Amino acid sequence: MYFPRGTANSLNALRRRRGPDACRSEFHKLRASRRAYAAGLVNDPNLSFATCFALLPELRGWQPEGELCPRVRTAVRLCEIIRTDKSADGNAVHPRYDEATRDALRWMFASGEEADGMDADFDRTVDISACVLLKIYHEEEILPGVVRLMFRRNRRGSCLHDLAWAFFQSAGPRALRSVAERLLSPSAKDAELARLLLHLPQAGNSRREKRAQYARYLDWLEENRPYLSPTDEGLCATSSPHACAVNLSAKYLNRKPRAGGPEDAPPLTESEKGCLACFSAAQPEERELLAHFSCKLHEKDPLRWSEWIRRPLEKQIRAARGGEADR
Amino acid sequence: MITVAGKRPDSGTLAGFADGSLKRNILSVLETSTHRYAFDTAAQLEFELALRQATVEAAHSLYGSGLRFAVFRDAAANPAYWNVTRDGGFSLKRGAPPARAILDIFENGSAYATECATAMMIVLYGALVKVYGEARFNRLFPQIELMNWHRLDPRLQSFGSLERKDDYFPGDRRYIANPDVDPLTPHWQGENVIELGGGLFYGHGIGIRDAGSIIRSLNRNRVDGATRSAYLMDAAGRPDYRRLAALAAP
């Protein structure tokens, strides 16, 4: 096999054209005859993670280790941990979540997506790289890729559980919106998965019904966006998980979270504490109504809102039931 | 508090069908609860007690079956009865007798591998075979899909959802969540368990233990610097006993 000098694309091309086994076999011969050149091909920034994964048996235990670039070395180590930790024993040695790991994971996910379905262990490794990137490094830039992969897998009927878990870990407004767009898909499978991930009921399949559900969801998202937080739910726990929950107390008080998280929020004023005590006395369905009403009224007429929120609970509920904010 | 057809049943009636200590324990919680548990007929109550007991027995039996733990991609099943789907579920083979196929998992567990949620469905189906008998079970469930909480038979849907309850009983499906799980091992994100009574739970892959011990196992698989412990959620999944009781009527 001829490997043109100075490019890793020949390995990628070989894997795509003739499959992972042929790629590994040719690389094995190259390694035996032209070791430094073989290492150079693997270290090339253009190498796809799928090709690296195909070459794992050749790369594991490569000595001296320093001949491989840090990204490949880290990726090989991560693949090994993921491969050996599928049992319920949970005795894996976990990696340090440092910048080198982050860099390797970004590469694994970004360049791995193109070869989705190549092999079950490969898919699992790509999925777990997404899990770590979202949960540890909060790399929300990968969410569109995660959503794309989930829907592609769903159409094929293949595993999407770990990706769904990753999605549930950090389902922010951007990710929710990108899932909501699939409600409009002509594919019934897409719309069904979108409804599952967004916790929406079954809707009709006509274009009009799909558009109506989509529009309602976007309205809901717009209203609740500042008050959303991920839940501990997922497809492992329940058949109808909530990706995120609305902080009704914050919505009722119109206290939008700060960029620094809950710790960054100023303490509640005495007046807010009083309002919250009143709110807490309401029944769960009344709280939802009050939070919605409060949000709408505050947006429309802040002066009327500050008068309303000081009323006794029963009067607040009566106003909310009467839809005072719409007048 | 229990009511049958709107009335408090006398203790003699209840003692008549609480023929085991597990059923008696469940009855005692039902009776002493501040929540009102209403049954249309005594047979309905008797059915729920029987199915709960069968669920606990099926959990013990599955634990001893040799069923292996595996993530979905490594799921395995006896090809004589089941097809393993691309997403790691089990689909009953055309022509395979449903009850035999379910019982085979309990009898030849080592030929099967799955994760904890699917194991809960296997426990429930095993219990249903016991209470209905094989012939009726085959008529009621001619098609079975085992895939965590998805593709559930509509009559078993509520077993897959988690809701806060006033009381918890043996036979309930519970969930121990692990919010700070290390993302490298997402299969440790939580454990589905069957409440067995006496403070014990069965979780597939983890065994029969008390909640504290399962929580410690999950906590060992948290990310470095984790601040939140795994915890038993204040919720349960239950089959619709009333609806299933109606299917048991001759």
pLDDT in tens, B67-100: 999 989 899 999 999 999 999 999 999 999 999 9
Residue A74 has a pLDDT of 95
Residue A8 has a pLDDT of 55
Which residue from B minimizes the CA distance to A235? B149
Which residue from A minimizes the CA distance to B88? A159
Under the banding of pLDDT at 50, 70 and 90, the label for residue A271 is confident
Residue A88 has a pLDDT of 46
B202 located within any domain: yes
**For residue range A102-144, what is the model confidence (pLDDT) as tens digits?**
999 999 999 999 899 999 999 999 999 999 999 999 999 999 9
Task: Please give, rounded to a whole number of angstroms, the shortest distance from the CA of B70 to a CA of chain A.
Answer: 6
**Lateral strand order in the sheet of B82-84:** B82-84, B90-92, B145-146
CB neighbours (10 Å) of residue A234?
22
CA angle (A77 as vertex; A162, A69 as ends), nearest 5:
120
Residues 6+ apart with CB under 8 A from B6: B38
Residue A83 has a pLDDT of 83
**Least reliable range by pLDDT among A184-188, A306-310, B14-18, B188-192:** B14-18
3-state helix, strand, coil in chain A (%, to 5): 65, 0, 30
Residue A264 has a pLDDT of 60
Domain extent, residue B227, equals 173-232
Residues 6+ apart with CB under 8 A from A210: A183, A184, A191, A203, A204
**For residue range B187-223, what is the model confidence (pLDDT) as tens digits?**
899 999 999 999 999 999 999 999 999 999 999 989 8
B191 located within any domain: yes
How many A/B residue pairs have CB atoms within 8 Å? 107
Q: Which of A128, A232, A237 sits opposite B186 (nearest CB)?
A: A128
Q: Which of B157, B189, B221 sits opposite A165 (nearest CB)?
A: B189
B212 located within any domain: yes
Interface test with A, best of B91, B187, B224 (most A CBs within 10 A): B187
Residue A170 has a pLDDT of 80
Q: Which of B175, B183, B220 sits opposite A131 (nearest CB)?
A: B183
| Nearest by Cα to A197 from A253, A134, A248, A244 | A244
Under the banding of pLDDT at 50, 70 and 90, the label for residue A208 is very high
Task: Specify the 3-state DSSP secondary structure of B176.
Answer: strand
Statement: residue B7 has pLDDT above 60: yes
Which residue from B minimizes the CA distance to A81? B184
Contact B192 A237 (CB under 8 A): yes
DSSP structural state of residue B151: S
Which residue from B minimizes the CA distance to A91? B221
| Nearest by Cα to A255 from A307, A309, A304 | A309
Residue B145's φ and ψ, nearest 5 degrees, are: -120, 130
Residues 6+ apart with CB under 8 A from B10: none
Q: What mean pLDDT value characterizes chain B?
A: 94
Please report residues of A whose CB lies closer than 8 A to that of B188: 90
Residues 6+ apart with CB under 8 A from B98: B92, B137, B138, B141, B142, B143, B144
Under the banding of pLDDT at 50, 70 and 90, the label for residue A72 is very high
B220 located within any domain: yes
Contact A82 B217 (CB under 8 A): no
B95 located within any domain: no
B54 located within any domain: no
Are residues B93 and A143 in contact, defined by beta-carbon separation less than 8 angstroms?
no
Under the banding of pLDDT at 50, 70 and 90, the label for residue B39 is very high
DSSP structural state of residue A267: P
Reading the block at residue A142, the tokens are 């990968």
B142 located within any domain: no
| Nearest by Cα to B114 from B78, B160, B153 | B78
Reading the block at residue B16, the tokens are 């008549």
> Which residues of chain A are at the B interface, by a Cβ-Cβ cutoff of 8 Å?
81-82, 85-88, 90, 92, 94-95, 97, 120-121, 123-124, 128, 131-132, 134-136, 153, 156-162, 165-166, 169, 232, 234-240
A134 vs A170: CA distance, rounded Å? 7
Considering its fold, how many domains does chain B have in total? 1
Residue A263 has a pLDDT of 57
**For residue range A156-182, what is the model confidence (pLDDT) as tens digits?**
999 999 999 999 888 788 889 999 999
B102 located within any domain: no
Question: What is the mean predicted confidence (pLDDT) over B31-35?
Answer: 91
Residue that has been written with the tokens 């050149």 in this structure: A37
